[in-house]
Structure 1
């Protein structure tokens, strides 16, 4: 089976209409990436589940044919996803080694120990949100004052990142994941991010603390080839950026969904669903990451009736898989917090599947459920201050959310 090429819009926007058009043609689509780079996207839920766990699908960019042959232009906006050295670009023993260094910080037990601190930080940020609204005619940007500083604060404390540097790291992360950025800005942002994290790691080496960055530095010092400098910086890029961006989008998208579906919010208040149900349905219905780069077949492989040639850069289409009618039924477009879990598979794939399943999933879930529960308990009439269609979208087809979320806290 062959598929027509679809040009992914570098400016991002809401992905769901385009996803539906591509899905109607099949579970795998040929796509054109920025810079006229040809790739593929796996969109169907069951096909994506198979693809993510396939033993002959690699993450290391040495399998990326166009990159290996010099066909990728300097400043390509997606270069970091291929070139950063860390868990997301490692396979086999290298992946297990890198993952083991940080996994103990994200076990269910360790995350549960963070619950009181997450609750404390949530309450403090709700105070900040209320003050911001009082100073601005009862309207405040929930994303800026609440959805961002909560996961950024938690991941910052885990890695020992001073609060004064968190806003800059968030700004740089937005630049790194943007798909409409110019080559010059992309190169500058990646350079500054690497320099910032290198300086941070050097300062932490001089003044160690009880944090995961110190633990990573200790592991590197104890065994010179256990964690290289590039792997250290790559791990920090992954954990600090991905550790807050995904949860930021998750909280933002959940609030938008509940404001647009007050009947679903009522189900939670009536005890017919809980905040965990809201989080899981949001992950399915409006995935925080739309298309995640990259994986590469190590030989020609067939998925969903379509051959993906060896060395092709492939995107994991999480937002499309979440609304795949073949997996979730004819009402896959409907936000339903009581939607039953499929007996044969996960409710969604938005946190990954297989060896690269999101290490921070337990932390993201506890942050999101705590945030939503406290938010709507304190402000039960909270609603959007502008129509949904007026909310500015991310300038990226990787992250899936809006840039601001103005809300009224009270009717």
Structure 2
């Protein structure tokens, strides 16, 4: 018999995989308790997740379909209020989602992503050059010095964000996924982040450049303002945040996995496996986004023996889905780049698949290949158990990644 007591979500994300296993023990769709005492459903089964992600009976728009929010039972004191207030692809449904997705989708076609390769490689070379000046015996936080600045530099260049403004504009996305912040902090962050983007858009209107933000503004004007300013802000929010945070986690998680499984790294070095094997297995075993809010049933939905009532919130637990034993068997929690089936949903599915997937994969391949070429003797600076997770249950990354560079090629 399934245990039906809802699992209480740890806001600090102390051990998301153990938590995911407890949720899964209640079924592939089961209730959890979010911060603030709010009940929601969590999907941990891969096949069920595919159905949910492709089922139009589930909306992403809380302002239309979250009954408790619409009827005032969810207020501004809800700790995850930032995920309700956003006006972008994260909260769009149906035709609104298609309309918001279209302006940016063409920026991440395989051809355009391949054209970005020199920019990604240039960023990697510069960052690795900076690391090369560090003493081999000095501990370096590879997350702060490489895994984070590489994708953030590429995405900010793509959208024309001035260097002096980047840290502050990216901070909004970092705070938004920190599930330890208070409701007041979350709401204030959304307001501040919104204003920063509005100011940025106005500056781009006055001084357009060869960047995607200027292209979006030109398209907005040419198409009779199909995107409102609020939607423009929301589009920049999601593009800058998702262009940085998940890629940062993917790179960091892959490096940590290889350094704690040196025999797997040897397979890559010997040519018996490739960097794509590393990346896909990392995405499966350590999904960069762990437990993504929100979706809402637009009508009563029966799925895998559970009835999700109209207006109920639902989260997709990508971290648990990648380790689904029904798909990957008893070794689902093991890192094995030779695994034949590395199937995962870490970039979403169907119309909700991440549009930045091609760029993320390219960045990760370049970042990992060039890192281990430059520093072939890279090792952890601390025991693996001292490397702690990012303090959030929404993302799945490392708080820091301390390494010793040691030998240099």
TM-based fold match above 0.5: yes
Confirm or deny: 8 A CA contact 2:81 2:187 kept in the other structure: no
1:165 corresponds to = 165
Match of 1:359 among 340, 355, 361: 355
Structure 1 distance, partners of 2:387, 2:85, is 32
- 1:128 aligned to 2:124? no
- How much does 1:137 deviate? 4.2
Please identify runs of 4+ aligned residues in structure 1 that moved more than 4 A.
none
Structure 1 distance, partners of 2:129, 2:206, is 36
- How much does 1:2 deviate? 8.0
Structure 1 distance, partners of 2:254, 2:187, is 33
1:284 corresponds to = 284
- 1:90 aligned to 2:92? yes
Segment of structure 1 superposing worse, 360-369 or 138-147: 138-147
Structure 1 distance, partners of 2:77, 2:181, is 9
Segment of structure 1 superposing worse, 235-244 or 170-179: 170-179
1:247 corresponds to = 247
- How much does 1:4 deviate? 2.1
Confirm or deny: 8 A CA contact 2:81 2:183 kept in the other structure: no
Q: Deviations over 1:325-357 (max 9, x none)?
A: 111111101101111137xxxx10010001110
Structure 2 distance, partners of 1:169, 1:257, is 30
- How much does 1:366 deviate? 0.2
1:264 corresponds to = 264
Counterparts in 2 of 1:192-341, with a 5 A limit?
A: 192-341=192-341
- How much does 1:165 deviate? 1.6
- How much does 1:313 deviate? 1.2
Counterparts in 2 of 1:1-150, with a 5 A limit?
A: 3-61=4-62, 62-131=64-133, 133-134=134-135, 137-150=137-150
2:397 corresponds to = 401
Structure 1 distance, partners of 2:171, 2:370, is 27
SS at match of 2:132: helix
2:368 corresponds to = 372
SS at match of 1:235: helix
SS at match of 1:31: strand
Structure 2 distance, partners of 1:177, 1:372, is 25
Confirm or deny: 8 A CA contact 1:292 1:318 kept in the other structure: yes
SS at match of 1:20: helix
Consecutive unaligned residues of structure 2, counting only runs of 5 or more, are none
1:386 corresponds to = 382
Structure 1 distance, partners of 2:330, 2:269, is 27
Structure 1 distance, partners of 2:165, 2:244, is 14
Q: Deviations over 1:84-104 (max 9, x none)?
A: 112222222221111111111
SS at match of 2:116: helix
Structure 1 distance, partners of 2:21, 2:315, is 16
Consecutive unaligned residues of structure 1, counting only runs of 5 or more, are none
Structure 2 distance, partners of 1:399, 1:306, is 26
Structure 1 distance, partners of 2:199, 2:253, is 34
Q: Deviations over 1:27-76 (max 9, x none)?
A: 11201111111111100111111111112111111111111111123143
Segment of structure 1 superposing worse, 175-184 or 229-238: 175-184
Q: Deviations over 1:352-375 (max 9, x none)?
A: 001110000000000001000000
- How much does 1:122 deviate? 0.5
Segment of structure 1 superposing worse, 23-32 or 164-173: 164-173
Q: In the comparison of the two structures, how many residue pairs are matched? A: 405
Structure 2 distance, partners of 1:137, 1:170, is 31
Confirm or deny: 8 A CA contact 2:44 2:318 kept in the other structure: yes
- 1:410 aligned to 2:409? no
- How much does 1:151 deviate? 0.4
Structure 1 distance, partners of 2:153, 2:322, is 29
- How much does 1:284 deviate? 0.4
**CA RMSD in angstroms, aligned pairs only:** 1.5
- How much does 1:81 deviate? 2.0
Structure 2 distance, partners of 1:208, 1:149, is 25
User: What is the TM-score when the length of structure 1 is the normalising length?
Assistant: 0.95
SS at match of 1:402: coil
Structure 1 distance, partners of 2:277, 2:339, is 9
Confirm or deny: 8 A CA contact 2:141 2:401 kept in the other structure: yes
